[in-house]
Structure 1
Amino acid sequence: MRITVLGSAAGGGFPQWNCNCRNCAGLRAGTLKAKARTQSSIFVQPDDGDDGVLFNASPDILEQIRSKPALQPARTLRDTAIAGVVLMDGQIDHATGLFMLRERTSPLPLWCTDPVEEDLRSGNPVLAVLGHYCGVDRHRIALDGTSFSVPGIADLSFRALPLSSKAAPYSPHRDNPVEGDNIGMLISDGHSGKSVFYAPGLGQITPAVFDAMSSADAVMVDGTFWTDDEMPRMGLSTKTARDIGHLPQSGPGGMLEWLAKLPAATQRMLIHINNTNPILDEDSEERATLARADVEVCEDNMLIRV
């Protein structure tokens, strides 16, 4: 399979429009060795196909499509390579890009869990609004380990795992999480036998999640924060990384400790990187720590073949 990283940043992108932290100010000034990033999303295609599946529709989706011509194959007067959209949660940075796909000539094929559909019909009524445009052909993502496929996408299958993280702030489940608010996805290629575990928002690694990570040939997991106290220490929030549903990379029980336990051949990647995270600085000690651990930092337009 081919995975194109359309966007690799957390909500707000990098640099964030109103932020003057060391990273954002340094990138604008040209004094920081770093790359700008749009909000996180990936596009997954089989090796021999043009069409694929969009995972999350960020507010930057139009910019991402324009920068990746393969998503507009121009086979007909109105065309797209997006055969379907899969949502990992109902967060603004993952769902409001659906508005930008409203010019479709047929209902938008959308896969999401029941709690996410509820959030996108009530707290942030994206789906109701789309009903006035192209409409939505919604498919339920089961949480019992059942795999599903997307019509027109040969050989690829998808299996969701419920995750410990946080629902969107406008969700009725924000402070009372329910199963399905957030999911990870095991993406399997029946032709090659390869698989990828994708989880851009991951607050805790349970035995089931670690089993899925260990079984995959590659993992793309939560890279939001380097430390648990990153935002409070900078005076940007009173909440820690874990408070808002993200497992930090460093420290006891952090993401790096878990990634080190995976089989040696596993490709390890971080995605959904917050603008405050020092790993964005390619000359930082934190970035060097990742390199020594053989952990990659995703960038926009990165192409991954698994």
Structure 2
Amino acid sequence: MKIRVLGAGAGGGFPQWNCNCHNCARIRRNAMNGKPRTQSSIAVSTDNNNWLLFNVSPDIRAQLEAFPAIQPKNGIRDTGIKAILLIDSQIDHSTGLLMLREGKPLEIYCTEMVKQDLSTGFPIFNMLTHYCGVNQHTIPTDGSSFTIPGIDDLRFYSQALLSKAPPYSPHRYDPHEGDNIGVIIEQISTGKKVFYSPGLGEIEPHVLSAMQAADCVLVDGTFWTDDEMVAQGISHKHAREIGHLPQSGEAGMIEVLNSLGDKRKILIHINNTNPILDEDSEPFKQLADNGIEVAYDGMEIDL
């Protein structure tokens, strides 16, 4: 199984277009040891030709141009993207669908709640009917398995997460199972598993079990501290309030990942304010000391 990190940043990417925080200001001046990042997305394949895209960020065009394996190879119009799986209906995970409007209908796998959001509050599915069209496939939220035609030798299990729908959603304050999911990706022939969840606010028992059973976990690395945005004067909301478990502190992501034993542990969906973006920082070194990697655009994971 091959996983390509198309984008490792949180919403807005890094640097964020309107941000002058400590990180963004320095990366623009080439004054820090770090890498710019586009908004969060990954692609998965077992044959290096047929790819499943997880989420479609507004940066998708640049991400695809930076990834030769997924670019056209046959005929006038072609793509290595065989299907798309949306883990939620957030703006930064779905707006890029509009960039894929030229061509055949998009094969999109998502929960019923995501389908509803993308047909009402942000009716991108309706908009795309006037262009390429959408073949929507509803995926389960009870942990049962499913496969995707054209994506050979992979089986998927969805894990419903405690989470709110996006701010635009008609049921923003009425949470439903399937607003946000984590996904177990299993290669059938080898039994190797990856747990992918870029938005984790709480480690529920079934989520911990999924992480324990995986050979690699690729999970929420949005914030270093719970009050990160508050302390920098950017927001009045804490990390946990907006559905992200911070890395540091009691019961933080570092503590959770350390409990998993010997496996590959990678943080993705890194917010522009997070000090781990500075590879000379103490937080970055602390992660390295704990065997935890920080995802970057173009990172490849082979299992």
For Structure 1 versus Structure 2, the TM-score category normalised by the shorter chain is over 0.9
Residue 156 of structure 1 corresponds to which residue in structure 2?
A: 154
Residue 118 of structure 1 corresponds to which residue in structure 2?
A: 116
- Please give the TM-score of this superposition, normalised by the length of structure 2: 0.99
Residue 138 of structure 1 corresponds to which residue in structure 2?
A: 136
Tell me how far apart the structure 1 counterparts of residues 48 and 7 of structure 2 sit (CA, whole Å): 21
- SS across alignment from 1:6: strand
Residue 52 of structure 2 corresponds to which residue in structure 1?
A: 53
Tell me how far apart the structure 1 counterparts of residues 113 and 142 of structure 2 sit (CA, whole Å): 15
Residue 297 of structure 1 corresponds to which residue in structure 2?
A: 294
Tell me how far apart the structure 2 counterparts of residues 192 and 200 of structure 1 sit (CA, whole Å): 25
Q: How many residues align?
A: 303
Q: Provide Cα deviations, 1:285-305, integer angstroms capped at 9, x if missing partner.
A: 000000000000000000100
- Displacement of 1:18 after TM fit? 0.3
Residue 75 of structure 1 corresponds to which residue in structure 2?
A: 74
Tell me how far apart the structure 2 counterparts of residues 274 and 167 of structure 1 sit (CA, whole Å): 19
- Displacement of 1:147 after TM fit? 1.1
2:48–2:69 CA contact under 8 A, matched in 1: no
1:165–1:246 CA contact under 8 A, matched in 2: no
- Please give the TM-score of this superposition, normalised by the length of structure 1: 0.98
Q: Any gaps of 5 or more consecutive residues in structure 2?
A: none
- SS across alignment from 2:283: helix
Tell me how far apart the structure 1 counterparts of residues 40 and 115 of structure 2 sit (CA, whole Å): 20
Residue 273 of structure 2 corresponds to which residue in structure 1?
A: 276
2:90–2:166 CA contact under 8 A, matched in 1: yes
Tell me how far apart the structure 1 counterparts of residues 192 and 283 of structure 2 sit (CA, whole Å): 30
1:83–1:150 CA contact under 8 A, matched in 2: no
- Displacement of 1:172 after TM fit? 2.2
Residue 35 of structure 2 corresponds to which residue in structure 1?
A: 35
Aligned AA (2:67): K
Tell me how far apart the structure 2 counterparts of residues 239 and 175 of structure 1 sit (CA, whole Å): 16
Q: Provide Cα deviations, 1:76-124, integer angstroms capped at 9, x if missing partner.
A: 21100000000010001100100011002x2110000011111111111
- SS across alignment from 1:251: coil
- Displacement of 1:176 after TM fit? 2.4
Tell me how far apart the structure 1 counterparts of residues 138 and 5 of structure 2 sit (CA, whole Å): 25
Aligned AA (1:220): L
Q: Any gaps of 5 or more consecutive residues in structure 1?
A: none
Tell me how far apart the structure 1 counterparts of residues 98 and 204 of structure 2 sit (CA, whole Å): 34
Residue 16 of structure 2 corresponds to which residue in structure 1?
A: 16
Residue 44 of structure 2 corresponds to which residue in structure 1?
A: 44
Q: Provide Cα deviations, 1:140-175, integer angstroms capped at 9, x if missing partner.
A: 011122211111111001110001233211012322
